[in-house]
A and B are shown apart, each in its own frame.
Chain A
Amino acid sequence: MSTNKPVDVVTRAEAFIRQDDIHEPMHDRFLWATMQRRDAEAAALPEWEKLRDLASQIKEHTLTHLDEYLTQFEANATKRGAKVHWARDVAEHNDIVYGILHERGVTELIKSKSMLQEECVMTPYLETRGITVTESDLGERIQQLDGQPPSHIVFPAIHKTRQEVARLFARTIGTDPNNDDPHVLTEAMRNNARPRFLAAGAGMTGANFAVAETGTFVVCTNEGNADIGASVPPLHIANIGIEKLLPRVEDLGVFLRLLARSGEGAPLTQYSSHFTGPRKGGELHIVLVDNGRSRRLGMPDFWHSLKCIRCGACMNTCPVYRRGGGLAYGATYAGPIGVILDPTFDEHKYSELPFHSTLCGSCSAVCPVKIDISEQILKWRRVMASKGYLPLAKRLSFAIAGHVFGHPGEYHALQKTAAPALHHAPHFLLYNQTLNPWGRERDIPQLAKQTFREWYLAHRRNNGNQHTES
Chain B
Amino acid sequence: MATETAAIHRMTEPGSMRRIGLFIPCYVDMLFPEVGIATLELLERLGFEVGYPLGQTCCGQPMSNSGDERNAAQAEHLFVENFKDFDCIVGPAGSCVKQVRQHFDTIEQTDAVQHVRQHTYELVEFLHDIAKVHDFPWAEFHHSVGLHNSCSSIRGLGLAKPSEIMETPFNKTADLLEKVKGLVLVPLDRPDDCCGFGGTFCVTDPAVSARMGIEKVRDHLRHGAEYIASPDMSCLMHQQGIARRAGLDIKFVHVAQILNGGPFPERGDAIQ
Contacts and interface: CB of A to CB of B under 8 A. Distances in A.
Q: Dominant SS at the B interface?
A: helix
Interface in A402-457: 402-408, 411, 415, 419, 422-423, 425, 427, 430, 437-438, 440-448, 450-457
Residues of B in contact with A, size category: 35 or more
A319 B193 contact: yes
Interface residues of A, number: 90
Interface string A32-47: 1000000100110100
A43 B168 CA distance: 10
B170 to A, nearest CB: 15
A467 B208 contact: no
Given A398-B63, A419-B30, 7 more contacts: A32-B193, A319-B196, A379-B67, A443-B269, A444-B241, A448-B30, A469-B54
Contacts of A442: 210, 213, 238, 240-242, 244-245
A361 B72 contact: no
A254 B111 CA distance: 43
Contacts of A1: none
B173 interface: no
A179 to B, nearest CB: 32
Interface in B153-210: 154-156, 162-167, 190, 192-194, 196-210
Contact of A319 (B165, B212, B241): B212
A448 B271 CA distance: 11
Contacts of B29: 451-453
A364 interface: yes
Interface of B: 24, 26, 28-37, 40, 49, 51-58, 60, 62-63, 65-75, 77-78, 82, 103, 106, 151, 154-156, 162-167, 190, 192-194, 196-213, 215, 237-238, 240-242, 244-245, 267-272
Contacts of B166: 42-43, 45, 48-49
Interface string A359-382: 111101110000000100011111
Contact of B75 (A406, A453, A460): A406
Given A442-B241, A444-B270, A452-B36, A323 B74 contact: no
Contacts of A450: 33
B75 A17 contact: no
Contacts of B68: 385, 390, 394-395, 398, 402
A443 B204 contact: no
B270 A406 contact: no
B241 A438 contact: yes
A407 B71 CA distance: 13
A452 B245 contact: no
30 contacts: A17-B207, A354-B67, A355-B205, A358-B194, A358-B199, A359-B65, A360-B194, A361-B156, A362-B162, A374-B155, A382-B67, A385-B67, A385-B68, A395-B68, A401-B62, A402-B70, A402-B74, A404-B57, A406-B78, A411-B58, A438-B203, A441-B245, A442-B245, A443-B269, A452-B29, A455-B36, A456-B36, A456-B52, A460-B40, A465-B51
A361 to B, nearest CB: 3
Nearest to B233: A445
Contacts of A45: 166
Contact of B31 (A48, A360, A406, A445): A445
Contacts of A419: 30
A59 interface: no
Contact of B66 (A24, A394, A423, A443): A394
Q: Which A-B residue pairs are the 6 nearest by beta carbons? A: A406-B74, A442-B241, A381-B67, A358-B198, A402-B71, A361-B155
B148 to A, nearest CB: 13
A136 B11 CA distance: 59
A320 interface: yes
Contacts of B28: 452
B202 to A, nearest CB: 7
B206 A451 contact: no
